[in-house]
Structure formats: C-alpha cells, structure tokens
Amino acid sequence: MRRYVRALVLCTVLVLLSVLYVLSELHANRANTTPLLRFSSSSHTNKNNDNRPQTKPPHTADRSRGDGRNAAPKADSAGRREEAIHLAVVACGTRQDEAVSLLKSAVILSNRAMRFHLFAEDQLHSSIKAVLDSWPASVRQKFSYTVYPVSFPSQDQSEWSKLFKPCASQRLFLPMILKEVDSLLYVDTDVLFLRPVELLWDLFMQFNSSQLAAMAPEHEEPRIAWYNRFARHPYYGQTGINSGVMLMNLTRMRRAHFKNDMTTVGLRWEELLVPLLNKYKLNITWGDQDLINIIFHHNPEKLLVFPCHWNYRPDHCIYGSNCIHAEQEGVFVLHGNRGVFHTEKQPAFKAVYDSVREYSFGEDLVTSFWLPLEDKLNETTHTYCGKISHLFTRALNQSAGFTLRTTLLND
Ligand SMILES: *[C@@H]1O[C@H](CO)[C@@H](O)[C@H](O)[C@H]1NC(C)=O
Ligand SMILES: *[C@@H]1O[C@H](CO)[C@@H](O)[C@H](O)[C@H]1NC(C)=O
Ligand SMILES: *[C@@H]1O[C@H](CO)[C@@H](O)[C@H](O)[C@H]1NC(C)=O
Ligand SMILES: *[C@@H]1O[C@H](CO)[C@@H](O)[C@H](O)[C@H]1NC(C)=O
Ligand SMILES: *[C@@H]1O[C@H](CO)[C@@H](O)[C@H](O)[C@H]1NC(C)=O
C-alpha cells in the first residue's frame, strides 16, 4: 500500500513537471516570435497601445520588413531552450565597418542564439544587410537581425530630434522603441568581444530586484579620471560610468520611476529625458552618457557596476595598467574609443581590430586569426598598451576554437 502511494505521488509529480515544461516551452516560443511579428506590423498595432510614445510608424515598419530574419537556433546542443541574446548597435556615418567587425567578433565566439537590433542611417541599410547575408549559412544560423532607421518615439518626435543628435542618443530611446524586447546588451560600434557575449549577458542573473542596468566605471583611477575633476553636473559614484557597454533590462526601465532633481515625484524613463536635457544641456560634455550619469547619480540602487575588463579602454593602459580585473582574468570586451581602432596612436588596439576585420569565416581561427594577431601585438610592445596586450590574447585563448592552439602548435 505504502509503495503504491509512493508510486502515485511520483507519477503526479512527473505529470506536473511535464505540464510545467510544456508551458515554459510555449512561453519561450512566444517570446521568440512576437517581437518580429509585432514590429513589422507596428503601424497596425498602434491603436492597441495606450498613449506611450510610438516608434516612427510606417517608416519603421517598411524598413524592418524583409530584413534577413533567419530563425535563430532555439535550442542549445543539450536540447535546452535558451532565450536569445539581444544585442543593439547604432551605426552612423562611417561606423559601418566597425559595426560589422563587432558583430563578427560576437559571432566568432558565441554559442548562443543571438538577435541583433541594428540602428543605422537609411543609406547604410542595404550594405549592412548585404554583408550579414553574405556570411556562410553555418554562421547565419547563429543569429537573426533587424535593421531599423535611427528614430525617436513619434510622440514629441520633433521636440526630441531638436534636442538630441539622433545617432548619438539613440540608445536612450531603446526602452521605448524596442517595446517587445525584455532586455538587451547595447554596445558602441567601437567594441570587440574577446570572450563569448553570453558571459556578459549572464550578468543579468546577478541583478537584484532594484537593478535595471549595468555598466563599467568610466575610470579606475580618480587622479586621472574626468568626471570628478571636470564635470559640471552630478555623476554616478566616484568616477562616473561609461555607457559604451550597457546591459539594459528594458522591462524594468519602462516600469520604474526615477528620482531626480527636477520634481519631487519619480519620473518614468520616457518622461525624464527631455526635462533633464533642458536642465543640463549647457553643462554636459559627453552627450547622453552624461545624462545617464545624472540619472544613476540619483538612482544608484538601480545600477549594477561590472568590472573594467568588460569595457576595456585605452584609459586602462595608456598611463600604465590600472584595470586589475583585466590583469587577473584578461580583457573580455575591448572598447577602442577615441578612434584608436583606426589610428596608430594605440597600435595594440588597432591590431585586434585589423585581425578581426581581416579574418574570413571558415578560415582556421588559430592560423588565420590568433597567430597573425600575436605577430601584430608583438610589434606594439614599445607602447604601454602593447606591454599588456597579452591580456587581450589571454581572454581569447580561453574561448572555444582557440583552445586548439597549443595542440596545433605542438604538432
Ligand atoms: C552648470 O555649471 C555651472 C558652473 O559650474 C553651475 O553654476 C550650474 O549650477 C550648473 N547647472 C546645473 C543645472 O547644475
Ligand atoms: C527583466 O526584468 C523583468 C521584470 O523584473 C524580469 O521578468 C526579467 O526576467 C528580467 N530580464 C532579465 C534578462 O533578467
Ligand atoms: C541592489 O544592489 C544595489 C547595489 O549594491 C544596492 O544599492 C540596492 O540597495 C540593492 N537593492 C536591493 C533591493 O537590495
Ligand atoms: C610573440 O612574442 C611572445 C613573447 O616574446 C612569443 O612567445 C610568441 O611566440 C610571439 N608570437 C609570434 C607569433 O611571433
Ligand atoms: C593559452 O592556453 C593554454 C592552455 O590553457 C596555455 O597553455 C597557454 O599558455 C595560453 N597562452 C597564452 C598566450 O595565454
């Protein structure tokens, strides 16, 4: 009898688990497909929404229709279903090659399904699509993408576009434009991944209940940092934060109320931006990054600060190495700000960029990427950043595809 009861309990539990599994599968499916469907018909669904600002309607809808949208793989090798990583990039002016190299570095290293949200000036759309669609099928199958026009939410659009330079500040509007997206990783175009994107994405799991964004400090060393010496506005923490690599939980950003120094009540993200810019426009130097600093100055509990090796810039090495996490674990995300991917000022940064750009999918990662990169880096050891460039390759060395290196070299 006892055994019978035990068997019955076991069966019930199994049935319950199966039901839960099916439900979660359904949910994951919905999450994967709705953004595409909704977005491409946004001009029709507008009326379902309340009066929140809308994406530029027919324009956006037309643009996003017919973009390359291969279904991203929905299950990993173990058959588990995983949420796709959403990556947002804004490419304007001459930034297209950078953006493509950035995506290439993400695709080379990542094993998770990815969804790219690419914002670009209209004249760049067809060439960006042409490049991504030319990648081999095995690579294409890792990601899906949509190219959007650079835009402001349509409500108050004229006001917003008067106040902001469209491209530079596009990231501020992502919570309102990508309404169907729960969370995303925003990166500047002058960024390259040296470790798989999923390691950064997984920091979302470290968010506590009040955190809705994550960034690295603007500086490690207060004596040479910018904000604490020059800023004429509030900023986050001791040295400010850098918005070039930013995890954003858009769901939470859309819901939260933000404390501020303009009203006594909290304002929603979308209500905050215009008054904030009006108040501080004469005092800000680095555009929307300064606004982000002001916002998190007043709402520090909403920010997770991640270590500098997730947003490694020339500032971390030009006066000597000051990013301890990079020294311990290697550089995970390289951020070539101030144009260093394209000039001879910091040849170690340029070496990594050139190696990614010159690598073609299908070529052997070790002989066509790693060794040429080491060669180039070996010629930069007369510079401060070149002296620590083994921290760039150390991270790469831990990633799949590169681990063969030692065996191969010993052959
Ligand atoms: C802008 O900077 C000036 C000069 O430092 C300062 O007096 C003023 O209070 C600042 N404005 C705001 C809104 O903080
Ligand atoms: C973002 O926040 C929402 C609401 O708290 C939560 O349901 C969701 O899982 C979060 N997303 C990620 C990637 O952590
Ligand atoms: C989340 O972490 C931040 C930073 O440590 C902290 O300021 C905040 O109070 C925490 N929030 C909760 C709800 O614990
Ligand atoms: C670069 O220099 C390091 C250290 O001197 C050396 O071990 C490595 O073999 C060199 N790499 C190449 C490709 O020459
Ligand atoms: C790369 O990793 C291998 C295996 O862990 C190690 O033996 C080798 O020294 C590493 N090379 C570099 C340049 O970090």
pLDDT at 53: 38
- Give me 223's structure tokens: 């004596």
41 is a domain residue: no
35 is a domain residue: no
- Taking the alpha carbons of 105, 398, 388, 238 in that order, is the dihedral positive or negative? positive
Please tell me if the CB atom of residue 45 comes closer than 6 angstroms to any atom of ligand 5: no
How many angstroms from the chain centroid is the CA of residue 139?
19
Residue 204 confidence (pLDDT) above 60: yes
Query: Among 306, 327, 344, where does a domain finish?
Result: 306
Please tell me if the CB atom of residue 397 comes closer than 6 angstroms to any atom of ligand 5: yes
Please tell me if the CB atom of residue 374 comes closer than 6 angstroms to any atom of ligand 4: yes
Q: Are residues 404 and 367 in the same domain?
A: yes
Return the number of other C-beta atoms located less than 10 Å from residue 1's C-beta: 5
pLDDT at 293: 97
Please tell me if the CB atom of residue 252 comes closer than 6 angstroms to any atom of ligand 2: yes
Instruction: Report residue 25's pLDDT band, with 50, 70 and 90 as the boundaries.
Output: low
Please tell me if the CB atom of residue 251 comes closer than 6 angstroms to any atom of ligand 5: no
Residue 27 confidence (pLDDT) above 60: no
8 is a domain residue: no
Give tens-digit pLDDT for 321-370: 999 999 999 999 999 999 999 999 999 999 999 999 999 999 988 899 99
Q: Are residues 70 and 112 in the same domain?
A: yes
Please tell me if the CB atom of residue 366 comes closer than 6 angstroms to any atom of ligand 4: no
pLDDT at 34: 30
Distance CA 157, CA 331 (A): 39
Residue 50 confidence (pLDDT) above 80: no
Enclosing domain of residue 327 = 319-410
Give, for ligand 3, the residue of 203, 252, 301, 305 to mutate: max count of ligand atoms closer than 8 Å to Cβ: 301
- Give me 176's structure tokens: 């309102």
Report DSSP state, residue 84: P
Q: Are residues 95 and 175 in the same domain?
A: yes
From the CA of 377, give the closest atom in ligand 4.
1
Q: Are residues 379 and 300 in the same domain?
A: no
> 235-254 b/e with 16+ CB inside 10 Å = b?
bbbebbbbbbbbbbbbebbb
pLDDT at 167: 84
Instruction: Determine which residue's CA is closest to atom 3 belonging to ligand 1.
Output: 232
pTM above 0.85, yes or no: no
Q: In total, how many domains does the chain have?
A: 3
Q: Are residues 140 and 174 in the same domain?
A: yes
Report how far ligand 4's centroid is from the alpha carbon of 397 (Å): 14
Instruction: Determine which residue's CA is closest to atom 14 belonging to ligand 5.
Output: 394
Give, for ligand 2, the residue of 179, 183, 253 to mutate: max count of ligand atoms closer than 8 Å to Cβ: 183
Closest Cα partner for 200 from 86, 115, 289, 100? 86
* Phi, psi of 303, rounded to the nearest 5 degrees: -115, 135
Using a 10 angstrom Cβ sphere, with 0-12 exposed, 13-18 middle and 19 or more buried, the burial of residue 224 is: middle
Please tell me if the CB atom of residue 206 comes closer than 6 angstroms to any atom of ligand 3: no
Instruction: Determine which residue's CA is closest to atom 9 belonging to ligand 2.
Output: 182
pLDDT at 52: 36
Please tell me if the CB atom of residue 204 comes closer than 6 angstroms to any atom of ligand 2: yes
Please tell me if the CB atom of residue 337 comes closer than 6 angstroms to any atom of ligand 5: no
Using a 10 angstrom Cβ sphere, with 0-12 exposed, 13-18 middle and 19 or more buried, the burial of residue 356 is: buried
401 is a domain residue: yes
Give tens-digit pLDDT for 231-246: 999 999 999 999 999 9
Q: Are residues 216 and 188 in the same domain?
A: no
Instruction: Determine which residue's CA is closest to atom 11 belonging to ligand 3.
Output: 210
Q: What is the mean pLDDT of residues 134-159?
A: 89
Query: Among 306, 337, 357, where does a domain finish?
Result: 306
What residues have CB less than 8 Å from 134, skipping those under 6 apart?
A: none
How many angstroms from the chain centroid is the CA of residue 311?
11
- Give me 40's structure tokens: 């491409």
Instruction: Report residue 13's pLDDT band, with 50, 70 and 90 as the boundaries.
Output: low
Q: Are residues 354 and 246 in the same domain?
A: no
- CA distances to 14, 50, 59, 153 from 181, in Å: 33, 17, 20, 15
70 is a domain residue: yes
Q: Are residues 335 and 255 in the same domain?
A: no
pLDDT at 279: 94
226 is a domain residue: yes
52 is a domain residue: no
Q: Are residues 113 and 175 in the same domain?
A: yes
**Helix extents (H) in 146-262:** 157-163, 166-169, 174-177, 197-201, 227-230, 250-255
Query: Among 277, 306, 335, where does a domain finish?
Result: 306
How many angstroms from the chain centroid is the CA of residue 374?
27
Give tens-digit pLDDT for 166-178: 787 899 999 999 9
Q: What is the mean pLDDT of residues 214-219?
A: 98
What residues have CB less than 8 Å from 248, skipping those under 6 apart?
A: 174, 175, 183, 184, 185, 186, 212, 213
Residue 319 confidence (pLDDT) above 70: yes
Q: What is the mean pLDDT of residues 262-273?
A: 95
160 is a domain residue: no
Distance CA 108, CA 400 (A): 9
Q: Are residues 326 and 284 in the same domain?
A: no
Q: What is the mean pLDDT of residues 37-61?
A: 32
Q: Are residues 213 and 192 in the same domain?
A: no
Please tell me if the CB atom of residue 211 comes closer than 6 angstroms to any atom of ligand 3: yes
Q: Are residues 175 and 242 in the same domain?
A: no
Residue 252 confidence (pLDDT) above 50: yes
